[in-house]
Amino acid sequence: MEEITEEALDHFYHLHAQKKEMERELNTMKKSFHLLFDQHVGKNQKGELQRGRYKIQRSIRKATSYDPEPTVKRLEELQLEDLVILEKRPDTDKLAAAFEIGLVDQKEFADCKSERQTQSIVVRLIG
């Protein structure tokens, strides 16, 4: 593509609309499949089913996490500080404020700074 034409934008716009509709339909089907697996093999149970040339499998992943504040408090009460991670990281809000008031020179931290940029394309039908 050498230039952005109205036809290219029209094609992009319609493909994007189709993608959204397909994602909605796929999500609806996935919910139905999960409900059927719940009925046939049990809630949160892995399963497998074959129909003709297709096989559908449901896997179950489990992730465990602990609420940081009460967990750390309990570990400290039990004198198990070795099980607590102390994370040192810069307070970016305070650092920015220090730059603004001249307390810290930004040049001192130029090699520490990284910025991330993301690109986005949006095509809207007008008129």
Cβ partners under 8 Å of residue 34, min gap 6: 58
Residue 86 within any structural domain of the chain: yes
Q: How far is CA 109 from the centre of its chain?
A: 29
SS3 content of the chain, % helix, strand, coil (to 5): 50, 10, 40
| Mean pLDDT, range 81-97, rounded to an integer | 93
pLDDT surpassing 90 at residue 90 = yes
Residue 127 within any structural domain of the chain: no
What is the span of the domain harbouring residue 79? 6-49+56-104
What are the CB-based long-range contacts (under 8 Å, 24+) for 33-41? 33/58, 34/58
Question: Which tens digit of pLDDT belongs to each residue from 96-127?
Answer: 999 999 999 999 999 999 999 998 888 888 88
Token digits of residue 33: 């499949």
For the chain, how many structural domains are there in total?
1
Residue 109 within any structural domain of the chain: no
Residue 78 within any structural domain of the chain: yes
29-52 as b/e: b if 16+ CB within 10 A: eeeeeeeebeeeeeeeeebeeeee
The confidence band for 27, taking pLDDT boundaries of 50, 70 and 90, is: very high
Residue with tokens 């449901």: 58
Residue 111 within any structural domain of the chain: no
Strand partners, 51: 54
Question: Which tens digit of pLDDT belongs to each residue from 35-81?
Answer: 999 999 999 999 999 999 999 999 999 999 999 999 999 999 999 99
